[in-house]
Amino acid sequence: MRIAVKIGYDGSKFYGFAMQPNKRTVEGEILKILKKTKIIRDRKQAKFQYAARTDRGVSAIGNVIAFNCKGNALKVLQGMKDVWIMGYAYVNEDFNPRHCLYKIYRYYLYDDGFDVKKLKEAATLFEGEHDFSYFARIDSRNPVRGIDRVSVTKKGRIIKVDFVGKSFLWNQIRRMMAAVIKAGKEDIGKEEIMDCLNKKRRINFGIAPAENLVLLDTKYDFEFYPLLTEEIFIKKEFLTDALSMYRNK
């Protein structure tokens, strides 16, 4: 039996998603509990795969893992600390969660004086297919990527920037956001961003903090059965109460 599980996690609790020696990572903790409870024998035998390898500090409510297993994997995973089960689906043996329709990443900003119009103009420059060599940490992968849509919404003092695409490079969104933030603060114009996208010149815009970035969802041609843990509901009420008590103070 092969199962796909949509997971969430607080990135501040881990040294990233991917396994690292002597570090607490999302992937490492999941594999450890699955092997300990004999849900899987080992990673290779279970064909354990994931949709996205998020950086240290980046959170998720829509990453996806898949593996072959025996026993009640959902019950085991629901007992994890700092990893939340958002949903599940039983899938074909050849399912690989990397082969998605698209992913949605959201970056949260607190509006402390942005020119929101210029911020939006800068963000939408990244739509379409580009060579992102100057906006990513480049490895052996092809630096050309397509971004289907970038949207900017504002609610109160919070600005949300959504990037929708099938795949992204290492640090790509955080480096794009660093440029977007500078444009919103009127430190740069859109010309500098376009020059980098066209590889006319290289500008170091920096890298935006990881803690504000969330992998919001990963979409396929099927739906997941929702299965939210009680921790999610408690966190929601906790934060709702905090806002209610202090909003007007």
Residue 86 lies in domain: 2-99+221-246
Same domain, 95 and 50: yes
The model's pTM is 0.93
CATH number at residue 169: 3.30.70.660
32, 139, 133, 49: which is closest to 94 by C-alpha? 49
- Per-residue confidence (pLDDT) for residue 162, from 0 to 100: 98
Strands 158-165 and 144-155, bridge-based pairing:
antiparallel
Same domain, 81 and 132: no
Q: Do 52 and 103 meet the contact criterion of CB atoms below 8 Å apart?
A: yes
Q: Which residue in 10, 55, 112, 221 is the catalytic one?
A: 55
Q: How many domains does the chain have?
A: 2
Same domain, 91 and 106: no
Active site residue 10: no
Same domain, 89 and 190: no
User: What would the pLDDT profile of 117-175 be if each residue is shown by its tens digit?
Assistant: 999 999 999 999 999 999 998 887 899 999 999 999 999 999 999 999 999 999 999 99
Residue 239 CB burial class (10 angstroms; 0-12, 13-18, ≥19): exposed
d(CA 183, CA 97): 35
- Per-residue confidence (pLDDT) for residue 248, from 0 to 100: 57
